[in-house]
A and B are shown apart, each in its own frame.
Chain A
Amino acid sequence: MPPATAPDMRSQMRQNDHSSDASARRKSPGQQSPAQAEGIASGEMTTVSLKVNGTEHTVTLDNRTTLLDALREKLQLTGPKKGCDHGQCGACTVSVNGKRINSCLSLAVMHEDDEVTTIEGIGTADDLDPMQQAFIDHDGFQCGYCTPGQICSAKAVLEEIRAGSPSHVTEDLTARIEVTEAEIRERMSGNICRCGAYANILAAITEVAEERA
C-alpha cells in the first residue's frame, strides 16, 4: 500500500481503494436504489461483522455508513476523530488488517470480517504502547484531537518502512529503506496537527524507531 504522503484527496482515495480491494472483491456492496440516487435518507441496510480491537461485532447499518461513523456511532469507539470527513486530515486513521486507512473514506460494509484496530485497541492505561508512551514523553500533542490518528499512523509508518514500502522521498528503491527523519515526515504528512506539535510528534516517532532498530 502506498503510504499517505500528503493531505491530498486523490492520493488518499487511492490508498483507501487499494487497501479495501480484497474485501470489496469478497462481496458486493449494496446496489444503489432509486431512493439513494435521489439522495434521500432511505439507504439499504446490511449486516456486517467486524473484528474491532479483538472483539467480534455484528452491526446492521445503512450501506452508506462510513467505517468511521460505524466505529464512533454504532460501537461507541470515539477515539478515531472526524476532522474533515474527506480523507484530508488523518484524524480518523485506524488500522485495517494491519494497514492504516482513513476510516472516513471507507464504507463499513466493505469490511466484513476485517480486523480493525483503533486507538482504543493499541494499549491500556497500565500497559501503554511504546508509541503512546513516546507521545507523552515528547509532548506530542496540544489539544489532542489529532493524536489518536497520529499514533495509529505513526505505528503504521514504522511498519511500512520495515516492510520496504517506498515513499515519495525514498531515494533508492532497491535498497533497504532507512528510517530517516525525511521518511517519517513524508509519511506522516497525511496527518494534520493544527496545533503544530509536529516537532514533538516527530521526536516521539523517531525515538520509537530507534528503540526498535
Chain B
Amino acid sequence: MTVPLDSSDMPGPMKHVRKALPHDSAEMHVMGTATYIDDMPEPVGTLHVVPGWAREAVRGRIVSVNLDDVRSAPGVVAVLTAKDVPGINDCSSSFGGDPVLAEDEILFYGQVVFAVVATSRDAARRAAIRAKIEVSPITPILTPEDAIDADTTVLPDYQFRRGSPETGMTAAEEVLEGSMRIGGQEHFYLEGQVAMAQPQESGGMMVYTSTQHPTEVQHTVAKVLGVPDAAVTAEVRRMGGGFGGKESQANQWAALASLAARFTGQACKVRLDRDDDMIMTGKRHDFRVDWKIGYDLDGRIRAVDMEFLARCGYSPDLSLGVNDRTLFHADSSYFYPDASIRSRRLRTDTCSNTAFRGFGGPQGMLAAERMIDAIAIKLEKDPLDIRKLNFYDGERNLTPYGMPVEEFEVMHDLISQLEESSDYWNRRDDVNDFNSANAVLKKGLALTPVKFGISFTLKHLNQAGALVHLYTDGSVHLNHGGTEMGQGLYQKVAQVVAEEFGVTLDKVRITATNTSKVPNTSPTAASSGTDLNAMAAKVAAAEIKGRLIEFLCEQHQCGTDAIRFSDNKVFVADESFPLSEIAKQAHWARIQLSHAGFYATPGITWDRESATGRPFYYFAYGGACAEVTIDTMTGEMTVDRVDILHDVGHSINPAIDLGQIEGGFAQGMGWLTTEELVWDEKGRLRTHAPSTYKIPTAADIPADFNVQLYKGSGNPQSTVYRSKAVGEPPVMLANAVFCAINDAIASLSPGQIPNLDAPATPEAIMKAVQDLRSRRPSS
C-alpha cells in the first residue's frame, strides 16, 4: 500500500457518516409517492410520442416510406422523420453513427424511422403500426464469425502486451486452449426509457429525462435542435434503475421528445413500450473469447494469450471504454508473467451494445476464471488452490497494463477470511461425497475473487461538481452532478454534507440533478458516483463552513480550533449559537453562503495511446463462494448457498452498501444463469419481454445467502471518508456461481474440461454435460 492511512482524515465519532441510515426516499417509496418522470403531472396539452420502425427489416436500404395512413390516424398531430431534424441527426455519446431517426438505411432490427406525435400514447401507438416502409434487404452480419469474415469493426483493435507470450508459451510445461461464449444482458431497468420535454421561451427546452448522464442529454438535445447548449436544461430527480442502460441510451428518447416539443410547441413525452425498449436499446456486450494459457505443473501461470471478440452492434456508442475495461479485467486477480490480451470491436447489424454495470469488466474476469478452472481440472487440483497460487503478491504485482496491485494483502486476507467463513474445505469434501453418492444430481463449489478498478479509464471524466447553499434559517440546499438510480448516492452525499455542517439530515434538502445548477458533468457510472460527487459536495460545504469560521474568529477573537459545528449549532469555545443565527449574521456581514465545489480524482495518469500510466485510483475487492446443484438429466440448476465478503473501504452507509452487493450479485447471477438473449437467424431479437427473458425473482436467490462487509483499514487512497466504490464490483461476485456450475459438470469426468458457455441456462448445462459424456474417457 503506497499511501499510508492518514489519521487526520479519520475524524472522531461521526453523526451521519458510516451509519446504516435509510435511503432518502425510503418513505416515499413505500407510500408510492416518489415521483418518476411518468408520474409527473403533465402540462395541459401534453402530446405523446411513439417511435415507428420497419418491423420486418434488419439491415437494408430504405426504398420508400409511406406515412399517409399514419398522419391520417385519429389523434395524430405530427409525424416526424429525419428531414424534420433542424440540427444534427445524431444522438451518439462520442463517435457519431447513431441517427435519432433513420436516413437512408436500416442498420439494425428496431431502428427508429419516424416518430408519431399524438394526443394520447394509445393513439400514437395505433397510428405507428400503419406505416408502410419498403426496405431493400442487405444480408445482415450477425455473429462474431460473420463480422470477422467481413472484417468489419466499429473501432480499431486494441491490446495489452507484456514480455513475450510466444516464448512464455514454449517455455511452459503445459499449454491449454479453448474458446467460450459469454452472453449479453438486457438492463430491464424497471422504469423504462422516458423523457418529457417542455418548450421554453425563445427556443429554450426543458427536458425531464431518465438518464445517468444529464449533461449528455442536454448536449444531444441542443445538437439535434441546432441550439446552443445553454438553451437546454436537463433534469432528473431519480430513475427507476439504470444499470448503465441510461448512460448513453437515454439520449435518443430525450431528443425525440424535444424534437416533437419544438415542432408542436407543446410539452411532449416519450415513454417506450417495454418490448420496443428491449428491441431498440443496446445491451451488455456479448463475446467470444479465444484463450490459450501456458503453466507449470504446480499450476502457476507462465503465459497468457487471450482474444476478446465483442459484438458491438451497428455503432461505436461506448464500446471503446467497455472493451478497454474488458482488457483491464482479463487478469481477474492473477499475475500473468507474459501476456498478449487483444480486443476486437466487431460491428454487427444489431442494436448498439452499451454500458452495463461492470462495463465489460465482468466478461474479462469470467474468461480468466475459465482458464484457472481449466488448469485445475487438467492438473486435478482444487481450483481455489490454483487461484491462490496465481494471486498478485508482493513481487508479482504488476498488471498487464503496468499498474501495481498495491493492496494485494487485502485480497489475500479477504479470500482467506471467506475460505474460513464459508467452510470451503469441509464443504469441498461434502460435495465430493455427494457426487460419489449421486448419479444424476451433481454438486459444484467455487470460491472466486473480485478485483475491480475504480475510475473512468477516460481520464477527463474523473471530475465532479456540486452546488451547496446555506440559507439563513440554517437549512442547506444540496445539488451535484450525480444521478440517483436507486444506488443511494443522494443519501450518501447528504450524509457527508450533514456531517460537514454539523446539521441533522432533515436540514439538508436534496434536489434533482439539473444541468443548469452543475454543468459539464460526467455520467453517473463506473461506480464513481459517491467518490466524485460526495467529494465535490464536501468541498463546497467545507468552503462555506470555512468562511463562517473565519467570520466567527474575527467576531470572537478566537482561533479556529475553538469553533465546532454540531447538532445544528455552532460552538464557539463554551458558547453555542444556532447555525441559523450564525448564517444570518454572516449574511448581514455580506459573506457568501453558497459555493460550487469541484473535485478531480488525483493520480490518474493513464495514456491510452502508449498504454502506460495509472488508469485506476484504486481497486475494490471482494470474494464469493457458491455451491450449486445441477440435474444432469434436465440441466436444471439451483444455487444452494452463497457466501460473500466484500470490501467497501470504510462504508459511508453500510445498509446501502449491503443492498448494492446483494443486488449486484443477483444481477450478475441472472446474467450468468437465466438471462439469455436470443436473436433469430434473421437478426431479430426474440426475447423482448420478461416472459421470454428470464430475470431472477425472489425464488431464484440462494436459499442460504450470507453477505458481509470486509472489515479492513479503509481505502488507502484519500477518498471521501476512506470509502470505496460499490456499484459495479458485486456483479462479478456471481462468477462463483458460474464456476460452481462448471465444477459440478466437471465432476462427471475428471480431467476433462467442460465446454460451458454463459449464460449457464439448463440448455447450456445439458449441452456441456452431453458434450463431456460424448468424449472418449481421458482423451
Q: B-contacting residues of A (Cβ < 8 Å)? A: 6-9, 39-42, 62, 64, 72, 76, 78-86, 88-89, 91, 118-120, 122-125, 128, 132-133, 135-136, 139, 141-148, 151, 181, 184-186, 188-202
Contact = CB atoms under 8 A, between A and B. Distances in A.
B67 interface: no
Contacts of B190: 81, 83, 89, 91, 143, 145-146, 192-195
B697 interface: yes
A147 B29 contact: yes
Contacts of A120: 31-33
A193 B408 CA distance: 35
Contacts of B666: 196, 198
Nearest to A199: B662
B674 to A, nearest CB: 11
15 contacts: A7-B695, A119-B32, A125-B27, A133-B30, A142-B241, A142-B660, A144-B28, A151-B30, A181-B703, A186-B699, A188-B698, A195-B663, A196-B664, A196-B701, A197-B659
A85 to B, nearest CB: 6
A143 B485 contact: yes
Nearest to A69: B122
Contacts of B633: none
B274 A85 contact: yes
B239 interface: yes
B403 interface: no
Contacts of A83: 190-192, 274
B240 A145 contact: yes
Contacts of B243: 194
Contacts of A88: 689-691
Contacts of B187: 194
Which 4 pairs across A and B sit closest by C-beta, in order of nearness? A79-B32, A143-B486, A145-B240, A196-B666
A107 B697 CA distance: 26
Interface in B41-90: 41, 73-75
Given A82-B38, A83-B190, A144-B23, 15 more contacts: A7-B690, A76-B41, A83-B191, A83-B274, A86-B689, A136-B22, A139-B22, A139-B26, A142-B660, A143-B239, A143-B240, A145-B240, A148-B29, A194-B187, A194-B695
Given A78-B39, A192-B690, A141 B23 contact: yes
Nearest to B277: A84
B238 A41 contact: no
Interface string B683-707: 0000001110011111111010101
Contacts of A122: 31
Contacts of B698: 184-185, 188-189, 191, 193, 198, 201-202
A82 B38 CA distance: 9
A62 to B, nearest CB: 8
Given A78-B38, A139-B656, A39 B126 contact: yes
A120 to B, nearest CB: 6
A85 B273 contact: yes
A94 to B, nearest CB: 10
B594 interface: no
Nearest to B21: A139
Interface in B642-695: 655-656, 658-660, 662-667, 689-691, 694-695
Given A139-B656, A195-B486, A201-B698, A40 B31 contact: no
A86 to B, nearest CB: 6
B696 A196 contact: yes
B145 to A, nearest CB: 32
Nearest to B664: A196
Name the prevailing secondary structure of the B interface residues: loop
B35 A78 contact: yes
Contacts of A143: 189-191, 238-241, 485-486
B31 A79 contact: yes
B319 interface: no
Contacts of B126: 39-41
Nearest to B42: A73
Contacts of A72: 38-39
A132 B30 contact: yes
Nearest to B703: A181
B632 interface: no
Contact of A196 (B33, B189, B662): B662
A122 B760 CA distance: 41
Interface in B158-194: 187-192
Contact of A139 (B23, B75, B667, B703): B23
A81 B27 CA distance: 17
B29 A189 contact: no
Given A42-B74, A128-B30, A196-B667, A86 B691 contact: yes
A41 B128 CA distance: 12
Interface string B105-136: 00000000000000010110011010000000
B25 interface: yes
Contacts of A198: 662, 666, 696-698, 701
A165 B36 CA distance: 35
B738 to A, nearest CB: 17
Contact of A142 (B35, B39, B486): B486
A67 B136 CA distance: 42
Of A123, A144, A145, A192, the most chain B CB neighbours within 10 A belong to: A144
Contact of B695 (A9, A62, A78, A192): A192
The residue among A39, A91, A199 with the most chain B CB atoms within 10 A of its own CB is A199
B22 A6 contact: no
Which residue of A83, A120, A132, A184 has the most chain B CB atoms within 10 A of its CB atom?
A: A83
Contacts of B703: 181
Nearest to A35: B74
Nearest to A138: B655
B274 A84 contact: yes
B691 A9 contact: yes
B701 A199 contact: yes
